[in-house]
A and B are shown apart, each in its own frame.
Chain A
């Protein structure tokens, strides 16, 4: 089972070497056995078997979509009709959406099977999955016997893919929430161009940055999954009206002549030498396959993190205003009047990191501070995006580290939000510029923990990005697997 990728399982199903029911049953068992990882918030085995049976019926008739019968895990930020959706927060209570997000609806239409909803940082705010109201997720990789975080916010999805608790998973990425956990759990994570996947039905964190994407075992799987997640959606005004290309086909052709940019500002003082070494190695791998390596400059990089931590909380403070205890979710008891209801419900329902970001966001939008913070951040955002536009006159993709380091221990960054925010240093620029970014597992640290490299593409050029990713993956030949320490048996 653990040897299957999305692509190979698809082919096995088509060739009737295995049924969706068998595949799904095996994953349901793996999910149950892996509860110590806390990767799933909600398991939906009955629904999964029902969907698998329907898929088998279609496959038997020679029908079926691109993901027919393939068991997936869904980040618990996607609203799923009839299935509790928590966003990793207490404030949503037992919220059961009466609607299905566009991305998941696309997946079910393509025949995919839902195994359950994966854990995440509360409202996707975090880089370690420690802010979840459902408790932390553990990385299948350990440092000796020390337990590590899987990164965040899509930590549950990352652990589920890395621990073979699904064939692939969905994630969302606002500042690195797909790529950072993918990198430190040894899997592939793709944040598509802003607007490529519909945001409709995904619990919003920061609307101008949020983007759904695939978390998979291979680059090919990412291409396959993105092909079904992406769509033109009239229900999301910020989604693109460009047709969805055949991403799997775009993998073909190699990278001869591809110009790969190395942004000099990404060489950070005090970064572990392993990261820089891996980065250099990545450039060599691509060069060896015919790519041309060019040094480029993204001069406003150093402003990206502060810009991000103004823009994202500002939008979040407004997006999360609807969780007020009035219509759905958690409502405080014994309140005196409406203000008390708001204050108590929100104080009880939101965790501390979410409260911190709501406060930051409220502050930067306040009259008297707006120009100093929010307005300036917007200007910087424009400059950061322009850096990329200019860099892309000299190259086709950019190669950077994915994270400043490997997975870390629980609680190691929790009391220092700035240290935690630094995890996003290589990834937030991509969200601010609305570009696609791909994290590919590229090697292990001396301590045996996975590290990833990030490729950044031009807007809506996921095809080239994936093709470069495939070249990197082929050269890196990352076949390491974490030892299974979590199964009860």
Chain B
């Protein structure tokens, strides 16, 4: 595997490298919350999905949701990570109105998942292995709403207690592109696994990005001896909630740090907020202002002990993940590029696989999707899920081309028809008489008609064999585009006595 070199930031006083680590909060896909039976459905009326536990009522106790534990283990396995058979839940204490218990139940010292890795593919064709430090389970907080009343704030506790997986990477990303690519890849993995819906608009996936800069070479020393002293002081940028914003935030932040350092200043470790409107990061709180969370093991919960056999069962049930799928598609004859495009989103991979399963030839199916269908979806602003043509229909079209039933040109028309009207493409081809004409009698008749109408052209073509293309076009026109172009070519050559290499 070829890893890219460092991306260099040019400064006044020399070159700098960017070092990026990430903390991603991924909402666990589960019907109920981490420690209560309340629903996790998005979009309910405020405070409609709050149990007594979620509201922090006196005497209420948390009970771990086994499904959430399974999802965390599944994710850990998908990240090729170590599953810790014994983990602990801790309380992270702080006061906030959307935190009803006055503490968040999280995992501090002993997380459920340890070290793992994610491979990211870069547009250059290079790959980067990003180390995963840990994954732990924790409760989400509620939501404070400040804009509904001039004097009061409102609190919606629907989110309170929903299970989150906090996935922490090592500082292994070296550019804004890599940071965005990492998040895209992580999102694909959890969606393949079915452990998080990856919906960034609804807040199901949120990223905090740690950025630092160092002189060229510092990072390699860090990788060699593991000492953070070779790296610069990092700043954490909170809640950057789209791939584009991640890239923007990293670019801005790295530049800001370089300017400070080159001006003789020092970076102070702090938490910063990205403002997408102004495209800048702003200080939220310094290290000195950081909370003392007074972590301690939650006495309401026993240590979480997992059975190795149970973990093995989950491992056996893991679906094929993007990397493996990509390798398989390349094996089946797809280009690395096409395979990457298809596996990047679970939906596109599933769609493609459904086409192949329906009988479409793998390479043709991949070409058809990237050249025709995805383009139409893009133009219409539709996602694959919202698109009007089923995988079976697209497969039928591709197969008809392969069988010589329709030409590639007609295939595009058929797609347009199915897009607009729906229906079975094969039936449509029959009903509309779009079947390619390979019947030599019909083709010959069309040729005779063209010759009869253009005797002058017959003479010309004998002198200039290249004019044969004109005849082919006329015959295609005569047959309404349904004639098989290869058959027309062959018949014309015979009829006009043209040389083979005409």
Interface residues of A (CB under 8 A from B): 78-79, 85, 87, 92, 95, 97-99, 101, 199-204, 206-208, 234-238, 314-315, 317-318, 320-322, 324, 326-328, 338, 342, 362, 365-367, 370, 374
In the complex, the answer to whether B102 meets A321 with C-beta atoms within 8 Å is: yes
A315 to chain B, nearest CB (A): 6
In the complex, the answer to whether B59 meets A200 with C-beta atoms within 8 Å is: yes
| Whole-angstrom CA separation of A8 from B253 in the bound complex | 79
| Whole-angstrom CA separation of A367 from B292 in the bound complex | 7
- Interface set, chain B 331-389, CB cutoff 8 A to A: none
User: Which residues in B have their C-beta under 8 angstroms from that of A200?
Assistant: 59-61
In the complex, the answer to whether B93 meets A365 with C-beta atoms within 8 Å is: yes
In the complex, the answer to whether A236 meets B61 with C-beta atoms within 8 Å is: yes
In the complex, the answer to whether A327 meets B300 with C-beta atoms within 8 Å is: no
In the complex, the answer to whether A85 meets B58 with C-beta atoms within 8 Å is: yes
Q: Which 7 residue pairs spanning A and B have beta carbons closest together?
A: A321-B102, A208-B299, A365-B294, A207-B299, A322-B56, A201-B59, A203-B58
Question: SS class of chain B's interface: helix, strand, loop or mixed?
Answer: loop
Smallest CB-CB separation from B302: which chain A residue? Answer: A237
| In the complex with contacts A318-B102, A318-B103, A367-B292, A237-B300 CB distance below 8 A | yes
| In the complex with contacts A208-B299, A326-B97, A237-B91 CB distance below 8 A | no
In the complex, the answer to whether A322 meets B296 with C-beta atoms within 8 Å is: no
Smallest CB-CB separation from B93: which chain A residue? Answer: A318
| B55: Cβ under 8 A from any A Cβ | yes
Known: A322-B56, A338-B97. 19 other contacts (CB 8 A): A97-B59, A99-B52, A99-B57, A200-B60, A201-B59, A207-B299, A237-B62, A237-B63, A237-B302, A238-B301, A315-B296, A318-B93, A318-B296, A322-B58, A326-B155, A328-B57, A366-B294, A370-B296, A374-B296
| B401: Cβ under 8 A from any A Cβ | no
In the complex, the answer to whether A314 meets B155 with C-beta atoms within 8 Å is: no
| Whole-angstrom CA separation of A321 from B62 in the bound complex | 16
A267 to chain B, nearest CB (A): 32
Q: Contact size class for B? A: 20 to 34
| B198: Cβ under 8 A from any A Cβ | no
Scoring B residues 34 to 71 as 1 if CB is less than 8 Å from chain A, else 0, what string do you get?
00000000000000000010011111111110000000
| B100: Cβ under 8 A from any A Cβ | yes
| B175: Cβ under 8 A from any A Cβ | no
B282 to chain A, nearest CB (A): 22
| B101: Cβ under 8 A from any A Cβ | yes
Interface residues of B (CB under 8 A from A): 52, 55-64, 91, 93, 95, 97, 100-103, 153, 155, 292, 294-296, 299-302
| Whole-angstrom CA separation of A205 from B260 in the bound complex | 50
User: Which residues in A have their C-beta under 8 angstroms from that of B155?
Assistant: 326
In the complex, the answer to whether A237 meets B64 with C-beta atoms within 8 Å is: yes
User: Which residues in B have their C-beta under 8 angstroms from that of A315?
Assistant: 296, 299
A206 to chain B, nearest CB (A): 7
| Whole-angstrom CA separation of A381 from B296 in the bound complex | 15
In the complex, the answer to whether B52 meets A98 with C-beta atoms within 8 Å is: yes
| In the complex with contacts A99-B52, A314-B296, A321-B93, A237-B61 CB distance below 8 A | yes
A373 to chain B, nearest CB (A): 11
User: Which residues in B have their C-beta under 8 angstroms from that of A322?
Assistant: 56-58, 100-102
User: Which residues in B have their C-beta under 8 angstroms from that of A235?
Assistant: 61, 63
User: Which residues in A have their C-beta under 8 angstroms from that of B93?
Assistant: 317-318, 321, 365
B152 to chain A, nearest CB (A): 11
B301 to chain A, nearest CB (A): 5
In the complex, the answer to whether B59 meets A238 with C-beta atoms within 8 Å is: no
20 pairs, CB–CB < 8 Å, chain A vs chain B: A97-B59, A98-B52, A200-B60, A203-B58, A207-B300, A235-B63, A237-B300, A315-B296, A315-B299, A318-B91, A318-B103, A318-B294, A318-B296, A321-B93, A321-B102, A322-B57, A327-B56, A327-B100, A338-B97, A365-B296
In the complex, the answer to whether A237 meets B292 with C-beta atoms within 8 Å is: no
Give the most central of B60, B155, B302: most A CB within 10 Å. B60
Question: SS class of chain A's interface: helix, strand, loop or mixed?
Answer: loop
User: Which residues in A have their C-beta under 8 angstroms from that of B153?
Assistant: 338
In the complex, the answer to whether A327 meets B58 with C-beta atoms within 8 Å is: no
User: Which residues in A have their C-beta under 8 angstroms from that of B64?
Assistant: 237
Give the most central of A97, A322, A342, A366: most B CB within 10 Å. A322
In the complex, the answer to whether A362 meets B294 with C-beta atoms within 8 Å is: yes
Smallest CB-CB separation from A343: which chain B residue? Answer: B95
| Whole-angstrom CA separation of A219 from B301 in the bound complex | 32
User: Which residues in B have their C-beta under 8 angstroms from that of A206?
Assistant: 299
User: Which residues in B have their C-beta under 8 angstroms from that of A85?
Assistant: 58
User: Which residues in A have their C-beta under 8 angstroms from that of B62?
Assistant: 237
User: Which residues in A have their C-beta under 8 angstroms from that of B300?
Assistant: 204, 207, 237-238
| Whole-angstrom CA separation of A79 from B302 in the bound complex | 23
| Whole-angstrom CA separation of A87 from B300 in the bound complex | 19
User: Which residues in A have their C-beta under 8 angstroms from that of B56?
Assistant: 322, 327
| In the complex with contacts A95-B58, A236-B61, A321-B299 CB distance below 8 A | no
| Whole-angstrom CA separation of A78 from B100 in the bound complex | 20
| Whole-angstrom CA separation of A19 from B97 in the bound complex | 51
Smallest CB-CB separation from B101: which chain A residue? Answer: A322
B194 to chain A, nearest CB (A): 27
User: Which residues in A have their C-beta under 8 angstroms from that of B102?
Assistant: 318, 320-322, 324
A429 to chain B, nearest CB (A): 18
In the complex, the answer to whether A321 meets B58 with C-beta atoms within 8 Å is: no
Residue from the list B58, B63, B91 in contact with A87, Cβ < 8 A: B58
User: Which residues in B have their C-beta under 8 angstroms from that of A236?
Assistant: 61, 63
| Whole-angstrom CA separation of A470 from B56 in the bound complex | 41
| Whole-angstrom CA separation of A342 from B60 in the bound complex | 21
User: Which residues in A have their C-beta under 8 angstroms from that of B91?
Assistant: 318
User: Which residues in B have their C-beta under 8 angstroms from that of A97?
Assistant: 57-59
In the complex, the answer to whether B59 meets A79 with C-beta atoms within 8 Å is: yes
In the complex, the answer to whether B95 meets A321 with C-beta atoms within 8 Å is: yes
In the complex, the answer to whether B61 meets A321 with C-beta atoms within 8 Å is: no
Smallest CB-CB separation from B59: which chain A residue? Answer: A201
Give the most central of B52, B155, B295, B300: most A CB within 10 Å. B300
In the complex, the answer to whether B59 meets A101 with C-beta atoms within 8 Å is: yes
B103 to chain A, nearest CB (A): 6
In the complex, the answer to whether A321 meets B296 with C-beta atoms within 8 Å is: no
Smallest CB-CB separation from A346: which chain B residue? Answer: B95
A382 to chain B, nearest CB (A): 13
| Whole-angstrom CA separation of A200 from B97 in the bound complex | 24
Smallest CB-CB separation from B64: which chain A residue? Answer: A237
| In the complex with contacts A208-B299, A324-B102, A234-B59 CB distance below 8 A | no
User: Which residues in A have their C-beta under 8 angstroms from that of B294?
Assistant: 317-318, 362, 365-367, 370
Give the most central of B55, B63, B95, B301: most A CB within 10 Å. B95
| Whole-angstrom CA separation of A87 from B61 in the bound complex | 17
Residue from the list B58, B97, B296, B302 in contact with A238, Cβ < 8 A: B302
In the complex, the answer to whether A203 meets B59 with C-beta atoms within 8 Å is: yes
| Whole-angstrom CA separation of A206 from B298 in the bound complex | 11
B38 to chain A, nearest CB (A): 14
A428 to chain B, nearest CB (A): 16
Residue from the list B95, B295, B296 in contact with A342, Cβ < 8 A: B95
| Whole-angstrom CA separation of A322 from B300 in the bound complex | 15
Give the most central of A78, A207, A318: most B CB within 10 Å. A318
| Whole-angstrom CA separation of A98 from B64 in the bound complex | 23
Smallest CB-CB separation from B55: which chain A residue? Answer: A327
B2 to chain A, nearest CB (A): 44
Give the most central of B52, B56, B61, B64: most A CB within 10 Å. B61
In the complex, the answer to whether B296 meets A92 with C-beta atoms within 8 Å is: no
| Whole-angstrom CA separation of A98 from B52 in the bound complex | 9
Smallest CB-CB separation from A199: which chain B residue? Answer: B61
Give the most central of A234, A324, A338: most B CB within 10 Å. A324
| Whole-angstrom CA separation of A338 from B151 in the bound complex | 12
| Whole-angstrom CA separation of A318 from B294 in the bound complex | 9
User: Which residues in B have their C-beta under 8 angstroms from that of A237?
Assistant: 61-64, 300-302
User: Which residues in A have their C-beta under 8 angstroms from that of B103?
Assistant: 318, 321
User: Which residues in B have their C-beta under 8 angstroms from that of A362?
Assistant: 294
